Chains A and B, each alone.
Chain A
Amino acid sequence: MQSSNRFFKRVKPGLGTLIEISVETQEENAQDSISSTFLEIARLEKIFNFFDPDSDLSKMNRGEMIELPSELKEVVLFASDLKNLSSNRFNPETSRGLDLGGISKGFIVDQAALFLKEKLPDAQVMVNAGGDIRNLSQDPTTIELRIPSENDEARKTMELQPGLAVATSSLNAQSLCIGTPSAHYTSINTSIHRVTTATVVANNCMTADAFTKIVLFSNNTEELSALPLSSYGVKQIFAFSKDGHSVVEWANR
């Protein structure tokens, strides 16, 4: 680290949560780049807004889009791939068309981090949207995982390596900041240690985000083991039950 580096931390509301952008750079005008990254996030958020009748997603769902924007196309293809892979554990189809809320947040975090990194190539960049985090810096960063517990106080720490992303999804209705909670899933299992919180580390945040849903809605660990996790760039999985039991702890060594 050079002594002339400056740190910037900006937070704005967005994606249903607070979005934090952290930058370490020698650039004087980093604030301008951060501002335009927030504008890019707002632009992408509008494309994927299931509840906005004017969004590209809504237009697509009504069959009014002939040529999909590249961002929408990418996420739709990935969602459809994961739906098949997971035997519908991950399923964005609703009676009102596709709801991509389960992965678009991760996708937007990735896009924002890459957008800012392109503007500030020498900078250390981190984007965190309510726990969906992409680390585009040269150093690992410490992440605290919130673990279900009676008083919400339990934490587990982990290191997020450079380039990687982490996402967490939870079944607690009010903490599901991932679009329409009920829309994505077809199965609830009833094992003793039902997973209610799943954290996934992956090559990018869209993958991490999507696999948290697959972990939440898998019936057992064998079902998860059967998935080609490594080839999708999944690096680590942590899953906890409502009472804070660690149900799954897996790492791709």
Chain B
Amino acid sequence: MLIPLLSSALTPTTLVARAEVYSTEETAVSLIFKNLKMNRREIELTDDQAKAIEKSSGETVRNRKIVVFVAPTKEAVFIDKVIGKHELITYATGLRPDGSVQSIEIIEYKETYGSQVKNDEWRKQFVGKNTASKIKVGSDIKNISGATLSSAHVSAGVKRLVHTYAILKSIL
């Protein structure tokens, strides 16, 4: 039967930091647009472009360096990062030539708790960094229940990318 345990406070564990790598940039691109040949490009946004994206999307452009895979027929897959309260998510967003979203794949999800998250250096290390991650197979990474994880940051990021595509499309 139910046993109330009224006084057994659980001792908090030490800092938890984990990274889960789900796929590489290339795998994500090929999952989004199967059989399309796409070339990886890096584009540095100008002040005007960044401002235009912020204005039309309503989202802040944190990183001026854009990583995007482009097909000759203008399909595009952006590799982007968003930072939540406790997590950093690297994800790929595929956009069709008409600017609509084809699909989204999460490439890496890194979670951190405690003092580390307050440290700006922790956050800085992700800005402008490219993923050259290998697929992690057969790992014994634990599932977490009780997640505070929200997809809101990814949604906001996708919104920014849709407008980024609109502004960059002519030069892609």
**A→B interface (CB under 8 Å):** 6-7, 9-14, 16-18, 20, 24, 31, 35, 126, 128, 130-133, 141-147, 149-157, 160, 166-168, 170, 172, 174-175, 177, 192-193, 197, 199, 221-222, 224-225, 237, 240, 243-250
Contact = CB atoms under 8 A, between A and B. Distances in A.
Interface string B99-135: 0000111100100011100000000000000000000
A151 B2 contact: no
Interface of B: 1-16, 20, 22-23, 31, 86, 89, 91, 103-106, 109, 113-115, 136-138, 140, 142-151, 154-155
B137 to A, nearest CB: 4
A9 B14 contact: no
B147 A146 contact: yes
B5 A247 contact: yes
Given A157-B142, A167-B145, A16 B10 contact: no
Nearest to B151: A13
A149 B12 contact: yes
Nearest to B6: A193
A248 B151 CA distance: 30
A153 to B, nearest CB: 5
B85 to A, nearest CB: 8
Nearest to A155: B13
Main secondary structure of the interface of A (DSSP, over half): strand
B144 A143 contact: yes
Given A10-B23, A245-B7, A247-B6, A146 B151 contact: no
Contact of A146 (B4, B20, B145): B145
Contacts of A142: 140, 142-143
A143 B2 contact: no
A150 B115 CA distance: 11
25 contacts: A6-B137, A10-B22, A12-B106, A13-B155, A17-B147, A17-B151, A20-B22, A35-B31, A126-B143, A130-B150, A131-B145, A133-B143, A143-B144, A146-B148, A152-B113, A153-B14, A153-B113, A175-B148, A177-B147, A199-B145, A199-B146, A224-B2, A247-B4, A247-B6, A248-B5
Contacts of B6: 192-193, 245, 247
A126 B142 CA distance: 12
B12 A225 contact: no
Contact of A237 (B2, B109, B140, B154): B2
Contacts of B109: 11, 18
Ranked 7 nearest A-B pairs via Cβ: A146-B146, A11-B106, A13-B151, A168-B146, A131-B147, A175-B148, A131-B145
B15 A17 contact: no
B25 to A, nearest CB: 14
B143 A177 contact: no
A5 to B, nearest CB: 8
Given A12-B103, A146-B147, A192-B6, 6 more contacts: A146-B145, A147-B146, A153-B113, A177-B149, A240-B10, A248-B5
A153 B91 CA distance: 25
B4 A141 contact: no
A228 to B, nearest CB: 13
B12 A153 contact: yes
A243 B9 contact: yes
B27 to A, nearest CB: 9
A162 to B, nearest CB: 14
A126 to B, nearest CB: 7
Contact of A18 (B2, B16, B136, B151): B151
A144 B142 contact: yes
Given A151-B113, A153-B14, A245-B6, A11 B146 contact: no
A126 B76 CA distance: 31
B9 to A, nearest CB: 5
Nearest to B115: A151
